[in-house]
Amino acid sequence: STCLLDTIITNTINNILLLTINNQSKLIMYETLKSLACHNAIKFNDILSKNECNHLLNELKSCSMPFICAHGRTSASILCEYDIIIDDYHVDMAELKQLASIHKWLKKS
């Protein structure tokens, strides 16, 4: 939400102004950016269009760790069986196998 975002940004700017530019100010900025990443994330039960879903999936391809948030928490979950969606979408089996191996790795962590 915009109000929360404004508050976080204002607090961060105030904290940075109170400090000299050193490692502590860098840490504050890093923690703020991590917080913003999670606060602005899509949450479970948010309604997305098919185009938004496709855009997000394409963006995930460029991420080095697409299913982990900035804080290291798992950020994805399987919502339906593969057989249910196979007729509606072209599925790249190599990518699906890679995602399955990442999912197994995340469950072990």
54 shares a domain with 18: no
- Domain of 97 in residue numbering reads as 47-109
Using DSSP's 3-state secondary structure scheme, residue 100 falls into helix
pTM of the predicted protein model:
0.39
- Distance of alpha carbon 33 from alpha carbon 26, whole angstroms: 11
Centroid of chain to Cα 81? 22
Number of domains comprising the chain:
2
71 shares a domain with 31: no
| Opening angle at CA 64, ends 39 and 16, nearest 5 | 45
| pLDDT (tens digit per residue) in 58-68 | 888 888 777 77
106 shares a domain with 54: yes
As a residue count, the chain comes to 109
Centroid of chain to Cα 80? 20
| pLDDT (tens digit per residue) in 24-72 | 777 777 788 777 777 777 777 888 898 988 888 888 888 877 777 766 7
Q: By the 8 A CB rule, do 29 and 12 touch?
A: yes
63 shares a domain with 32: no
35 shares a domain with 78: no
70 shares a domain with 103: yes
